[in-house]
Amino acid sequence: MCGICGFTGYIPDNEKIVHNMAEVITHRGPDSEGYYVDNNISMGFRRLSIIDLDGGTQPIYNKDRTMVLTFNGEIYNYKELRKELIELGYEFYTQTDSETILHGYEEWGEKVLDRLRGMFGFAIYDTKDGSLFIARDFFGIKPIHYAQVGDHLVYGSEIKSILEFPLYEKKFNARALDKYLSFQYSLPPETFFEGIYCLLPGHYLRYKDGKITTTRYWEATFEPNEELDEETAVNTIEKVFEESVNAHKISDVEVGCFLSSGVDSSYVSTYFSGQKTFTVGFDFGEKYNEIDWAKGLSEKIGVEHHAKVISSDEFWDSIRHVQYHMDQPLADPSCIALYFVTKLASEYVKVVLSGEGADELFGGYTIYNEINSLRGYQRLPLGFRKALANVVRPMPKFKGRNFILRGAQSVEDRFIGNAFMFTKAEKQKILKDASICHEPQEYTKPYYDRAANYDDITKMQYLDINTWMVGDILLKADRMSMANSLELRVPFLDKEVFATARQIPYHLRVNSKNTKYAMRCAARRHMPEDWAKKKKLGFPVPTRVWLKDEKYYNIVKDAFQSETAKKFFNSDEIIKFLDDHFNGKEDNSRKVWTVYIFLIWYDIYFGAPSSSR
C-alpha cells in the first residue's frame, strides 16, 4: 500500500513542492519514496513494501522510459497478466504487480482496467503526448483526489497533498456541509475544499492540453437470477469467496485479519488458521465489546488473537488526530475504534483482511428488511396511508408511529442511506446560512434514477454501494489503516465475488429468516452456529453514554459555544440538542456527534495553524 501525488506543468521549486506533497502522506508509505520530475509534470510516491520488497521501488518505467507509473494498491491477478504480457513480448525488470499495470496500459490502453482484479489508484504519464491517465478501482477502495488549479492538474491519494500545492487557495465548501449534515459524511464527488474533487469509483481521468475528462469504465449493476435455487447460490458464494480470500492473502509479508463478533470478519478469519486476528472494544458491557466473542471464535478456529480495550480518555484524546487523517469530517464514531484496531494490528503485521462490503453486496443491513415489514401495509391504498400519516405526524411519539409515517412513503423518499442525520427543516433551524439547505432526497435521486428498474431492496443496496460505502465505510478503512502504515484488504469487494452477488435473487439476500441470508448459509459451513447467526454490531461506540457524562458533556458544550460554532450554527439550537440528550429527553447522540466532529475538523484545517493535528 502506498501514496501517490503530483501536479502537471512547471512552477519554480517544483521538485521541492512535490517532495512536500509526498512528505505529508509519509504514513501511507514509510518504507521508501520516489519521484519523477521534468518541466511538464512532477510525480511523487511513498511506499509501504508488500510485494517484491527489494525491487518494487517506484516510479515504474516502460522499456524506453516514455511512460511513468506511480501506483497505490494491489493487483491480485498480476501473475496471470504478467505471463500474458511476457508472451506478447514485454520485458519485466521487477516482480511487482505495479509493472503489470504499466505494460498492460501500453498494450491495451484504458481497457487494461477491465483485466485488473484488485484495489488501485494510479497515475500514468505519457511523455510522448504529454497526457496523464489516472484511474480508481471498481468500488473505490483506494482514494484519488484532484483539482484543476489554473493550468495545473494537482492530484493525490489524500487531500492534504493537494493542500501543499502553493497555487491552490484553500477555501471552505459550504455545499459539503449541507450534505454532511444529512449523511454524516461528505457525499462524493465534492469535498469540503472548494475545487477539490474525489475521483468516483469505477472511473478514470485523462488530462491533456489543459482539459480534464472523466469516464466511467465500470458500474456495480445487479441482475438477479430468480431461478437460482438456494443450494446453488450458497455453493457459488462459498467457492468464489474462498478463492477471493486466498487471492487477497498473496503477499511477501505476514497477513492478519480483523475479527469482530459479526459474520463478515468471522467468515474471513476462518481462512487464517495459525495466523493472527485483532479486535478492540470498550469497557461498557457486551453491547460495546465484542472481544469475548472474537476470542472464543479464535480459540475454535486456531488463530492467535490480540485485543485491546479502549479507555474513554484514549478515545476522546484521539479525536483530533483521527479527524486530521480523515481529511474531511466523518461523524461515524467507529472510525476512531478502527484507528485503534489498525494501530494494534500494525504492531504485529503489515497487511490485514477485513469484512467491509459484505452488507452492501449481499444485503446485510437490518434496514433492508423494512421492505418486507412494510409490504403488507403498503398494499393499502396510498391515499389512505398518506392521510393516516398526516394525522399521526403532529402527535407525540408512540409505538407504531414511525411505521405509519414510513409506510406512507416510497423507498426513494424514506431511505437516503444508512446514516440519516438532519432533515432539511432541522438544518434550516440550526444553520446560520439556511440558504445552503436541501432535501437529502435531492442528492440521492440520481442514484435512484439509475436503479429505477430494480426491486426496492436492490435499490437500497445500489444507493449504499455508491454513497455510504464510498463516503463512510471505505474512506475510514483507507484513512485509519494508512494512518498506521497498515495495508487493509477487503475480499468481499472483489470483482468475481460481485459477479456472484449481483445474481443472487432478493429473497436469498433478505427474507423472514435473516439478512444476507445466502451469504450467512455459506459462512455457516465454516464456523460455529452462534457466530454465523449473530447480529452485526460493527465497532459499536458508546457515544450516547459519554454524552450523558458531565465530563464529556462539558467538552462538547464548550465546542458548541466556540467562535467556530457561532460562525456556522445557531448556538442555542445545537446546545438544545445537547441538553435534551444529557437530560434524557431525547437520544440526540448522533446529531450532537455530527456537529461536534465538524467543529473539530474545521478547527484543524481552517483554524489557527497551531491547531492542526
- Report the CATH number that the domain containing residue 321 is assigned in CATH: 3.40.50.620
Of these residues, 2, 198, 335, 437, which one is catalytic? 2
Alpha helix ranges (H) inside 311-396 = 312-317, 319-326, 334-346, 358-362, 370-375, 382-392
User: 382 and 261 in one domain?
Assistant: no
Same structural domain for residues 200 and 73? yes
260 within domain boundaries: yes
- Choosing from 442, 465, 488, the residue where a domain stops is 465
Do 522 and 456 share a structural domain? no
Buried (b) or exposed (e) across 60-87, using 16+ Cβ within 10 A?
bbbeeeebbbbbbbbbbbbeebbeebee
What pLDDT is recorded for position 252? 82
What 3 state SS string does 215-274 have?
Answer: EECCCCCCCCCCCCCHHHHHHHHHHHHHHHHHHHCCCCCCEEEECCCCHHHHHHHCCCCC
Residues 6+ apart with CB under 8 A from 398: none
> Residues 29, 171: one domain?
yes
* Number of domains the chain is built from: 4
Q: Are residues 446 and 507 in the same domain?
A: no
Q: Catalytic site residue 2?
A: yes
Q: DSSP 3-state assignment of 50? A: coil
What's residue 611's pLDDT? Answer: 47
The pLDDT value recorded for residue 285 is 64
Are residues 356 and 261 part of one domain?
Answer: yes
pLDDT tens string 356-415 = 999 999 999 999 999 999 999 999 999 999 999 999 999 988 999 999 999 999 999 999
Residues 331 and 428 occupy one common structural domain? no
The answer to the question of residue 161 being in a domain is yes
Distance (Å) of CA 317 to CA 201, 321, 552, 608, 610 = 33, 8, 11, 19, 17
Per-residue model confidence as pLDDT tens digits over 251-295: 888 899 998 868 899 899 999 877 899 999 998 766 677 787 778
Full residue range of the structural domain in which residue 86 is found: 2-180+192-216
Q: How far apart are CA 123 and CA 43, in angstroms?
A: 9
CATH number, domain with residue 22: 3.60.20.10
With a cut of 50, list the residues of the chain below it in pLDDT. 610-612
224: in domain: no
Write down the pLDDT at residue 246.
94
Cell numbers linked to 459: 435499490
Does residue 149 sit within a domain?
Answer: yes
Q: Which amino acid is at 519?
A: M
* Domain stop point among 465, 500, 517: 465
Q: Does residue 410 lie within any of the structural domains? A: yes
Q: Does residue 514 share a domain with residue 460?
A: no
171 and 276 fall within a common domain:
no
Cα gap 285→540, rounded to integer Å: 11
Whether 159 and 295 map to the same domain: the answer is no
| Residue 212: partners with Cβ closer than 8 Å, 6 or more residues away | 146, 148, 153, 205, 206
Query: Considering the domain boundaries, does residue 185 fall inside one?
Result: no
Residue 163 lies in a domain: yes
Co-location of 102 and 128 in the same domain: yes
Report if residue 303 sits inside a domain. Answer: yes
> Alpha-carbon distance 371 to 516, whole Å?
14
Q: What pLDDT is stored for residue 434 in this prediction?
A: 96
Residue at which a domain ends, from 515, 533, 551: 533
CA distance 288 to 584: 20
Does 337 share its domain with 480?
A: yes
CA-CA distance, 200 to 144, in Å (whole number)? 8
Q: What per-residue confidence (pLDDT) applies to 397? A: 85
